[in-house]
Amino acid sequence: MISEHIWQRTPGKFLTKCRVINAYGEKPDLPTNILRNLIRLVPFEILSCLSDRGWHDRWSDTYVVPDEEYDKLKKLLDEQKE
Domain residue spans in the chain?
Answer: 2-81
Is 10:3 a contact under the CB 8 Å cutoff? yes
Question: DSSP letter at 17?
Answer: T
The whole-chain average pLDDT of the chain stands at: 87
Is 32:22 a contact under the CB 8 Å cutoff? yes
Going by pLDDT thresholds of 50, 70 and 90, the confidence category of residue 17 is: very high
Interior angle at CA 23, CA 72 and CA 75, nearest 5: 20
What pLDDT, in 10s, does the model give residues 35-74? Answer: 988 888 888 777 777 778 888 888 899 999 999 999 999 9
Enter the pTM of the model: 0.81
d(CA 64, CA 54): 10
Residue 25, pLDDT > 70, answer yes
The dihedral through the CA atoms of 50, 47, 32, 61 has a sign that is: positive
The dihedral through the CA atoms of 52, 54, 55, 60 has a sign that is: negative
